Structure 1
């Protein structure tokens, strides 16, 4: 819909449910990439998966990478692009709530890799917007580390990591979980066998997490 700033796909629930899950894909993917994950989660809800704003090869990216601290394993979001995407996602969530008649108190947020990094930062900026957040294979951006806003206390946050992930090592994901826990969130952290991808075991674990808050 043209009223929503970001291009997206919208999957309606089977019932008249007005809960929703917003989905943020990883670097180089697109808005269809995580639909199989989102649609296998328990509960009946709208699924709205956003497309990142900038093209990258055959897909899209939320921001450029700042590699000044070293290689990919120590990268950070480029500040200008990151800020733009955070604002675009926030605006698109608000617009989708109005456009699709969603319950503003029943919104989940799920992201992978860049989408997870964006998700964690967004919930620290707007903790009252989301009922829960699932962040797969992402880290906590330096720009948002140390924040402890009102509304984050007790917020359910799932952080998943891959033991063999060479793009975003499990240690960075664990540090993100620790940072969110220190901010006051109710964090579930698990490491799974495998690399930079959501394994069946990870899907089972995040499904159990979501079921608690459905």
Structure 2
């Protein structure tokens, strides 16, 4: 069957009855090949699936939602598109569970930038769908979380959040608010910073990979 999103897949090298899933969500203006470049470095028992965002920006660039500028150069996000993408990712997770022998109790989202913002939205709106989130160079945007999410049960959700201290795209101050938000919801959160811009430092990759293995 055709799935809702285009994707790349690395099958697990260690086959279990049900294998855990790592779902990679790229940033604005990128595509599914971007994060997939480090698929071979990820733990061998996982299905590694990198999804392509639904909004086509031409020339191999895709977005989970539009970012627009007004006349005063204020940047604003299309929250309606973001919410549609949020629910599309959840639908895609359900489709993957029907298509591959993945363990629905062991699903992790790994998001970069816009993909990280969406990872928070999926995890906090539908905590029964994902157990782990790695959110790199993103931030928590309450506008795109399902209403009433504060009442959700987050006992099984764990988050690894990271950011570059000299990020010129998403200010570090935005990311620094995330741990306290997660704390108020009693979500188990690890937060780290690296002396880099808007990208994934080698140490960041190493740290989140270890975090996945430990959790």
Say whether the fold is shared (TM-score over 0.5): yes
Separation of aligned partners in 1, 2:14 and 2:211: 22
Judge which range, 114-123 or 134-143, deviates more. 134-143
Say if 2:163 is the partner of 1:164: no
Q: Is the 8 A contact 1:125 1:149 kept in 2?
A: no
Q: Is the 8 A contact 1:163 1:193 kept in 2?
A: yes
Q: Which residue of 2 aligns with 1:83?
A: 83
Separation of aligned partners in 1, 2:113 and 2:44: 24
Q: Is the 8 A contact 2:133 2:159 kept in 1?
A: yes
Q: TM-score, normalised by structure 2?
A: 0.89
Q: Is the 8 A contact 2:154 2:185 kept in 1?
A: yes
Q: Which residue of 2 aligns with 1:100?
A: 100
Deviation at 1:6, TM superposition (A): 0.6
Q: Is the 8 A contact 2:9 2:48 kept in 1?
A: yes
Two-structure CA RMSD over aligned residues (Å): 2.0
Separation of aligned partners in 2, 1:62 and 1:204: 26
Q: Is the 8 A contact 1:28 1:57 kept in 2?
A: no
Deviation at 1:154, TM superposition (A): 5.6
Task: Give the aligned length.
Answer: 209
SS in 1 for 2:142: coil
Say if 2:138 is the partner of 1:119: no
Deviation at 1:149, TM superposition (A): 3.6
Structure 1: unaligned runs, 5 residues or longer: none
Q: Is the 8 A contact 2:22 2:48 kept in 1?
A: yes
Q: Which residue of 2 aligns with 1:7?
A: 6
Structure 2: unaligned runs, 5 residues or longer: none
Q: Is the 8 A contact 2:10 2:39 kept in 1?
A: no
Judge which range, 125-134 or 171-180, deviates more. 171-180
Deviation at 1:130, TM superposition (A): 1.1
Q: Which residue of 2 aligns with 1:207?
A: 209
Separation of aligned partners in 2, 1:54 and 1:176: 27
Q: TM-score, normalised by structure 1?
A: 0.90
Any idea what the Cα deviations from partners look like across 1:98-150, whole Å, max 9, x if unmatched? 10121101111110000000000110011111121100000111313994242
The 5 Å alignment of 1:127-206 reads 127-143=127-143, 144=145, 147-153=149-155, 155-206=157-208
Deviation at 1:194, TM superposition (A): 0.8
SS in 2 for 1:153: coil
